[in-house]
Amino acid sequence: MKRVLSGIQPSGQLHIGNYFGMMKTMIDYMEHADLYVFIVDLHALTSVQDKERLSQGTLEAAADFLALGLDPERCTFWVQSDIPEVCELMWILSTQTPMGLLERCHSYKDKVAKGIHANHGLFAYPVLMAADILLFQSDIVPVGKDQKQHLEVARDIAIKFNNTFGETFNIPEPAISETTAIVPGVDGMKMSKSYGNTIPIFLDDKPLRKRVMSIQTDSTPVEDPKDPDTCNLYALLKLFAQPDRLQEIRNLYINGGAAYGYIKQELFELIRDYFTDAREKKKEYLQNQDYLKEILHKGAAKARAKANITLEQVRDRVGLSY
């Protein structure tokens, strides 16, 4: 069975881009993979520097995953900082990481270009991510398209390490779902916590409706034909509508008659209904935080045992065991 691993940052409310780009894919893998899922609080520290926000965000992200259907009995599910071994591996990998490899990373360059004050953690972010992936000898790493380059960095580091010290790490493959590769936000740009354009998964009805109604559309009159494939609203509808209904709406776009207001109302109802059960379950987890923490601690113990197998080998290969 393939070992599939991915993590998510607890740096804000999780949104439907996170859900379709990563969370759903991971939950679906539970059926046929040796699955590793974790909340990357150490990565989130590069942008969240607020104790309450980080610790509460971590518990919420964990509750989100469980509420959406992740079963901790059928996977390994933990919080990154509960396994300090990952930081040791990160340091060792850092010594195998050329500066140029990190300097080329779009994610870092974009953030700097946006005026975000870069700290060393942000620069070294892909090395910590490589440590996450390589520590567990992952075969497949499902991520959104924006993380593809980070995966390439992890592969490059693994190859370099193996060449220098002998075969140690499995070389991971990315898994990027093309249909949901990039979920657009309400403004048509990539939906992202950092752009303030998200539709959070667990909004209450009223704010959810308001958010859906704020999806930007053009000002073509209702009766005029429109191109569904360039429409932000249609791209979001595609994720939730049944195929028959989607085809009907597609025809309205192409032949004229698609009224954005009605379609938004329909999208709001679809999103609300899709997540109804999960919303209830999330509340239950958050009301029972001791239970939630127990799940995470058990997961960390399971993951740590696996992590130590790799780390001992690594220490030995590089000469840190004497």
Q: Select from ligand ADP, ligand TRP, none the partner in contact with residue 21, using the beta carbon and a kind-dependent cut-off of 5 to 8 Å.
A: ligand ADP
Per CB under 6 A, contacts with ligand ADP among 118-137 are: none
Residue from 21, 57, 172, 174 touching ligand ADP (CB under 6 A): that is 21
Residue from 191, 263, 271, 296 touching ligand ADP (CB under 6 A): that is 191
List residues near ligand TRP by CB under 6 A: 5-9, 40, 43, 129, 132-133, 141, 143, 147, 150
Q: Select from ligand TRP, ligand ADP, none the partner in contact with residue 129, using the beta carbon and a kind-dependent cut-off of 5 to 8 Å.
A: ligand TRP
Q: Looking at residue 321, what DSSP letter applies? A: -
Please, what sign has the CA dihedral across residues 19, 147, 7, 56? negative
Q: Select from ligand TRP, ligand ADP, none the partner in contact with residue 252, using the beta carbon and a kind-dependent cut-off of 5 to 8 Å.
A: none
Q: Is 151 within 8 Å of 143 (Cβ atoms)?
A: yes
Q: Looking at residue 79, what DSSP letter applies? A: E
| By the rule CB under 6 A, 183 interacts with ligand ADP | yes
State the minimum distance, in angstroms, from the CB of residue 9 to ligand TRP: 5
| By the rule CB under 6 A, 151 interacts with ligand ADP | no
Residue ranges of the alpha helices (H) in the chain?
A: 16-18, 24-29, 41-44, 51-67, 85-94, 99-103, 106-113, 120-135, 148-165, 205-213, 232-240, 243-255, 260-274, 276-287, 289-318
Q: Select from ligand ADP, ligand TRP, none the partner in contact with residue 194, using the beta carbon and a kind-dependent cut-off of 5 to 8 Å.
A: ligand ADP
d(CA 137, CA 133): 7
Nearer to ligand ADP, 131 or 191 (CB): 191
- Count other C-beta atoms under 10 Å from residue 1's C-beta: 8
How buried is residue 46: exposed, middle or buried, by Cβ count under 10 Å (0-12/13-18/19+)? buried
Residue 322's SS3 state is coil
Q: Select from ligand TRP, ligand ADP, none the partner in contact with residue 173, using the beta carbon and a kind-dependent cut-off of 5 to 8 Å.
A: none
Q: Is 70 within 8 Å of 26 (Cβ atoms)?
A: yes
Residue from 147, 155, 157, 252 touching ligand ADP (CB under 6 A): that is 147
Q: Which residue is nearest to ligand ADP (CB)?
A: 21
Region of 200 please: left (phi>0), alpha (psi -120 to 50) or beta: beta
Site for ligand ADP, rule CB under 6 A: 8-9, 17-18, 21-22, 143-144, 146-147, 182-183, 190-194
